[in-house]
Structure 1
Amino acid sequence: MGKYQRNSGYKMSRKERPGRDRQNPWGNSKPNNGGRQGGNGGGHNGGGEPPDLDDVLRKAQEGLKDIMPGGFSGAPLFLIAIIGVLALWLASGIYFVQPGEYAVVQKFGAWSRTQSEPGPGYHFPAPIETATIVNVEEIRKMNIGFQEAFSRSGQSGRRDIAEESLMLTSDRNIVDLDLVIQWNIKSAEDYLFEIRDQENTIKKVAESAIREVVGQTDMFPIITTARSSVADAAKRIIQENLDQYKSGVNITHVLIERAEVHPDVQNAFQDVQSAKQDAEDVQNRADAYREDILPKARGQAIQKLQEAEAYKQSIVARANGDAERFKSVYEAYLSGKDVTKERIFIETMENVLRNADKIILDSKSTGGAVPYLPLEATSSKSNKR
């Protein structure tokens, strides 16, 4: 009955309750030794003793009963629970940063600060502040074109993802390509706040970049010797696009693990490659023949030109000499015509008789011998000539 009346009846205010001091929250109405009431709320005087702790707790419990509806019992346990919850709430702001990690602290959702030094740190508990630990040195791995899987026995395998691995080359062939991308975080703030769904964004950017590079390259170099150049070009494009997004991501390595012809076009590709090989063989033979015949032709042409130049010079020199000789003979003829005529006759006869068979007989020494001329032998020699 008393409890019901306390809950539903009229409650006496603090001013109306006897024994309550308005200036003392603990309701201490005892006068001090000097007749003055202390101003510290505890009823302390200059030389008096401090109040009893039990009395203080009892009066605090009574005050809480007045505040709580329906009264309250077990106030010390309630205070302990409140203090414990408050302590746990304050302790939730403690965090630890490991080497290679950054702690990004947000205040009411906005960036406040970043702790890069390893060790403990503290932020105001939620919802005031929150801390996100980001490992910036960890090398993360992303697969494009396949997915790694493990069997029940623990053996690793891979499952091909056709919509990611099949790509069209510049010569209109289809290549099946598996790509591995390794990356880490270079800016924790940009990584958390500038892009959403970070890994999916990186994957979409990487797929777009590799398809762009493959679409500008023939298939044969991709599956043979140009894998590294294709991977380097894709890495450059991926990094440029991510930097434009301010993603805070650093691409460390791009590796083409597998590049093959798609099975559906394998036979056609082999036929095309055989035809290209035959064409290259014919072209190589033609180049070899050209390299062999052109130097010879150039040498012969140079030789002909040199011979013609020498012939020209000899003819011109001979003509000049004949002209000079004629001039000298003419001048000699003008000075002595008879002598010149005789000399010309003798020189002409020398030229005529130089290659003729001659028999000279001295009439004084022969003593009347009859000359014998073998006409048949002479005629045969003339015919041989």
Structure 2
Amino acid sequence: MSKDTKNPWGKPGNDDRHYGPRGGQGGGGNRQEPPDLDEMLRRAQENFREVMPGNLGGGAAIGLFLLAVVALWLASGFYIVNPGEHAVVQRFGAWSRTQTTEGLGYRLPTPIEKISKVDVNAIRRMNIGFIEHASRGGASQKQEIPEESLMLTSDRNIVDLYLVIQWNIKSAEDYLFEIEDQENTVKKVAESAIREVAGQTDMFPIITKGRETVADKTKAIIQQNLDEYHSGVNITQVLIEKAEVHPEVQGAFQDVQSAKQDAEDTQNRANQHRNDILPKARGLAIQTVQEAEAYKEAQVAKSRGDADRFNAVYEAYLNGKDVTKERIFIETMEKVLGNAQKIIVDSENAQGVVPYLPLDQLKPAAGNNQSAGTVTGQQQGVRP
């Protein structure tokens, strides 16, 4: 770096003409040049001669003159601090103290001490990516600065950003003595911060619902860097006024958004179909399980009933085998012959008669599955 080159980040270069009272370069526009002492004394002497009576001795006149000059010189040390201001006092060029309360203050007269007043409550505004021009109608017009507004995102897209930085001063002595060209320093730090955040973020969140998050991250990085420089600057707010896709990638961006919308619609329809089918499937599964449980219980109950009935018959058989056999035979025949067509032959009244059964006529009509049965006694006659 050459001798005449100034560091834009606020660190002093090698130019000895601009070193501040803390070893860094002085900053700000609140510098007070010491008055010409010889000129002040000459004017005071002329004024004193005009008002002094002519019969006063030369020695006494000079003494009174010097006394008046000293009094005026001491009185010049009074100053007033207005609301919202801090007064920084320098003694022989070095920082001495800072008065943060408003009202009357005193410092040793020039050239021993001098003061610099800084408005610490004023909110300063800085634009990044654009400049504003006042129009006749009162509304401002924005002119883009491409080298500031164009940002590269993490997904390698280009966005156009307008950033507004609002800040005030939290330490008057740091603001005056630690950095040079304070506004330019704040702007460079802000540009670096927003490019860092944009480079770590995809394009879509920046231009949609993620603006506030991007602004908050940018504010935190700006404040951290400025604190490291002891700049005395406090960032109050970071606003993203504009975040748009660069025209060169607008077409591709629209295609991507259309594809995302189609995918979202398809997913919504699939979810709707799933929500419609799943309850029905769950209900059918529950119904099937319940029917199976009911069938199981019915079969178990039936099997237990059959087993109990068999055990009861078996016990009865053991107690009376002949009776039980007869009863079982009768019950079985009752089941067999209950629905059959029967012919009853009385063996007592049919002695000497050969039984004749017209089987062809006794057959049931076609399609009737009932069987014909006969009960015969002894081989004697047929009841007419």
User: How would you bin the TM-score normalised by the shorter chain?
Assistant: 0.5 to 0.7
Map of 1:380 onto structure 2: 367
Q: Once the 2 structures are TM-superposed, how far is the Cα of residue 300 of structure 1 from its aligned partner?
A: 2.2
1:265, distance to aligned residue in structure 2 (A):
1.1
Q: Does 1:324 align with 2:324?
A: no
Q: Which residue of 1 aligns with 2:185?
A: 201
Identify which of 222, 237, 242 aligns with 2:226: 242
| Residue 170 to residue 296, structure 1, CA distance change in 2 (3 Å) | farther
Query: Residue 160 of structure 2: which of 176, 180, 205 is its match?
Result: 176
What is the distance in 2 between the residues matched to 1:104 and 1:310? 95
For residues 12-60 of structure 1, what are the alpha-carbon distances to aligned partners after superposition, in whole Å with 9 as ceiling and x for unaligned? Answer: xxxxxxxxxxxxxxxxxxxxxxxxxxxxxxxxxxxxxxxx995740xx4
AA aligned to 1:322 is D
Shift of 1:333: 1.4
Structure number with larger C-alpha Rg: 1
**In structure 1, what is the equivalent of residue 208 of structure 2?**
224
CA distance 1:213–1:312, shift in 2 (3 Å): farther
2:324 aligns with one of 331, 340, 347: 340
Distance in 2 between residues matched to 1:293 and 1:183, nearest whole Å: 58
Counterpart residue type for residue 282 of structure 2:
R
1:297-356 C-alpha deviation (Å, 9 max, x unpaired): 2222232233223323332333233223322222221121122223333443454456x3
What percentage of residue pairs aligned between the two structures are identical? 67
Which aligned pairs between 1:59-78 and structure 2 lie closer than 5 A? 60=59
Q: Distance in 1 between matches of 2:331 and 2:253?
A: 88
Q: 2:98 aligns with which of 88, 100, 114?
A: 114
Give the ranges of 4+ consecutive aligned residues of structure 1 lying more than 6 Å apart after TM superposition: 82-88, 152-155, 359-363, 370-374
Q: Does 1:305 align with 2:289?
A: yes
Pairing partner for 1:214 from 173, 189, 198: 198
- Most deviating of 248-257 and 130-139: 248-257
Question: Which among 185, 188, 207 is matched to residue 172 of structure 2?
Answer: 188
Deviates more, 1:134-143 or 1:93-102: 93-102
1:292 maps to amino acid: D
> Which string of whole-angstrom CA distances, capped at 9 and with x for unpartnered residues, describes residues 102-156 of structure 1?
1111223333222222223222234422211111111111111111124689763
1:1-385 residue pairs with structure 2 within 5 A?
A: 54=55, 56-57=57-58, 60=59, 90=74, 92-150=76-134, 156-352=140-336, 356=339, 375-377=363-365, 379-382=366-369
- Residues 55 and 242 of structure 1: is their aligned pair in 2 closer, same or farther, counting only changes over 3 Å? closer
Could you report, residue by residue, the CA deviation over 1:72-101 in whole angstroms, capped at 9, with x for unpaired residues? xxx97xx96x88876775555343211111
Unaligned runs of 5+ in 1: 1-51, 62-74, 364-369
Q: How far is 1:376 from its partner?
A: 4.1
In the TM superposition, residue 296 of structure 1 has moved relative to its aligned partner by: 2.1
Match of 2:25 in 1: none
- Relative to 1, partners in 2 of residues 1:263 and 1:328: Cα closer, same or farther, differing over 3 Å? same
Question: CA separation of 1:164/1:343 partners in 2, compared to 1, >3 Å: closer, same or farther?
Answer: farther
Instruction: Name the CA distance, whole Å, in 1 between partners of 2:205 and 2:118.
Output: 40
Code of the aligned partner of 1:226: G
Residues 305 and 89 of structure 1, relative CA distance in 2, 3 Å threshold: same
Give the AA of the match of 1:112.
Answer: S
Distance (whole Å) between structure 1 residues aligned to residue 345 and residue 200 of structure 2: 105
Structure 2 CA distance for partners of 1:152 and 1:316, relative to 1, 3 Å: closer
Equivalent pairs, count: 307
- Alignment gaps of 5+ in structure 2: 1-52, 347-356, 371-384
How far has the Cα of 1:173 moved from its partner? 1.6
Partner Cα separation in structure 1 for residue 337 and residue 222 of structure 2: 100
Distance, in Å, in 2 between the alignment partners of 1:257 and 1:184 is 20
* Change over 3 Å in CA distance of 1:120–1:310 after alignment to 2: same
Structure 2 distance, partners of 1:351, 1:253, is: 101
Amino acid at match of 2:367: S
TM-score (norm 2): 0.68
Q: 1:351 to 1:137 in 2, by over 3 A?
A: farther
Q: What residue identity is the alignment partner of 1:280?
A: E
Q: 1:353 to 1:96 in 2, by over 3 A?
A: farther
1:247 is paired with a residue whose SS is coil
- Which whole-Å CA distance do the structure 2 matches of 1:267 and 1:142 have between them? 32
Distance 1:376 1:182, change over 3 A: same
Q: CA deviation at 1:281?
A: 1.7
Structure 2 residue matching 1:380: 3-state secondary structure: coil
How far did 1:264 drift? 1.2
CA RMSD of the aligned region, Å?
A: 3.6
Superposition TM-score, scaled by structure 1 size: 0.67
The one-character-per-residue Cα deviations of 1:215-236 (angstroms, maximum 9, x if unpaired) are: 3333233223332333233233
SS state at 2:209 partner: coil
* Mean Cα deviation higher: 167-176 or 318-327: 318-327
